Amino acid sequence: MYEERLIFKEIEGFPEHHASTITVLPDGDLLAAWYSCDYEGAINEAIFYSRFSIDKGVWSKPKVLVKTPNYPDGNPVLFTDKNGRVWLFYVTMYKKGWEYCKVKYTFSDDQGETWNEPRILIDELGYMTRNEPIYLSNGVLLLPLYDERDWSSLMYLTKNFEEWIFSDKIRCSTGCIQPSVVELSDNTLLAYMRRGRNGKYAWMSISRDFGKTWSQSEETKLKNPNSAIELIKLKNGNLLTVFNDSFNKRTPLVVSISLDEGKTWSHRKILESEKGEFSYPTAMQDKDGLIHILYTYKRLSIKHVTIDEEWVLG
């Protein structure tokens, strides 16, 4: 199957929209968030959110979730924990440039209806969020991070959402950021990362100690135009990635499935191939096995595509 829709046609006063995130709520509905603004880094940059009714098949009117007065907020990451609490991790920019961000969070215990007062997770400037956390088989929660100051990747690890530790950094010759992580069948962790300004392919690294240390980075065979890449593990163990299949443009946007835990990516379908920007994909599989993909649609909206695995494999 394949279905597509825009979450909204426009948001008055906010012409640009980017960096979406998605989570499945305890009742099965979807929650999405992204940032909207005059331009990236503008003072009015705020995090909006919308809820998708699975029964009705429609998105609610977007509302502001976070807005720090006089400072831009960006790179939201939604996550529903094992107890049904919905978390939002994001950053606030305190000077011009992403390297001047603090990582913050808020949470909701009523499926996104109301939210707790935002708190600072990492006070040191420079760390950024982008991709969704995952629970590891040892009970640890892994939140992917990157350091905008040196374009390296790292993980933030916790068992109780109160005490956190940093992993070692992953460094690449071109710089590598915005890691997306899955746990493989042998408990190895696999991270895919956006490449820096002088590379051609996305980077990868593995961890054999649940995210504390990481292998020497290697280039994948997936093209990357210095843009975000998504990697998730499906319920049957297959891996799914969404990426821009180009060395220098944020089009086309492709979804691909690996049947051998990332060794090969022989099954793929094109989501977008027109001129323009189709970028920063995020994906989530719901309770019925359907795969929901969100991405920036020409910076004019956020697009929602629903597929099943057979559509890609076919």
- 175-196 mean pLDDT: 98
**Token digits of residue 62:** 């977007």
CA 291 – CA 158 distance, rounded (Å): 27
**pLDDT tens track for 52-97:** 999 999 999 999 999 999 999 999 999 999 999 999 999 999 999 9
**Token digits of residue 213:** 């240390």
Percentage of residues in the chain having pLDDT higher than 90: 99
pTM over 0.85: yes
Find out whether 213 and 235 touch, Cβ atoms under 8 Å.
Answer: no
Backbone torsions φ then ψ of 98, nearest 5 degrees = -65, -20
Pairing relationship of beta strands 134-135 and 58-59 according to DSSP bridges: unpaired
CA 256 – CA 155 distance, rounded (Å): 25
CA 71 – CA 47 distance, rounded (Å): 12
- When divided into structural domains, the chain yields a total of 1
Find out whether 39 and 20 touch, Cβ atoms under 8 Å.
Answer: no
pLDDT value of residue 117: 97
Q: What is the CATH number of the domain that holds 269?
A: 2.120.10.10
**Token digits of residue 160:** 């109780």
Q: Which residue type, as a one-letter code, is found at position 128? A: M
**pLDDT tens track for 165-181:** 999 999 999 999 999 99
Residues 6+ apart with CB under 8 A from 218: 203, 204, 205
- 226-255 mean pLDDT: 98
Neighbours of 310 (CB within 10 A): 8
- 272-295 mean pLDDT: 98
Q: Is 56 exposed, middle or buried (0-12, 13-18, 19+ CB in 10 A)?
A: exposed
Q: How far is CA 179 from the centre of its chain?
A: 9
**pLDDT tens track for 132-157:** 999 999 999 999 999 999 999 999 99
CA 213 – CA 108 distance, rounded (Å): 32
Find out whether 80 and 96 touch, Cβ atoms under 8 Å.
Answer: no
In this prediction, residue 307 has a pLDDT band, given cuts at 50, 70 and 90, of very high
**pLDDT tens track for 99-142:** 999 999 999 999 999 999 999 999 999 999 999 999 999 999 99
Radius of gyration of the chain (CA): 18
**pLDDT tens track for 287-305:** 999 999 999 999 999 999 9
Find out whether 104 and 92 touch, Cβ atoms under 8 Å.
Answer: yes
**pLDDT tens track for 209-231:** 999 999 999 999 999 999 999 99
Q: 229-244 burial by CB neighbour count: b if 16+ within 10 A, else e?
A: bbbbbbeeebbbbbbb
pLDDT value of residue 127: 98
Give the residue numbers spanning the domain of 218.
2-313
Residue 197: pLDDT over 90: no
- 190-213 mean pLDDT: 97
Mean of pLDDT over the chain: 98
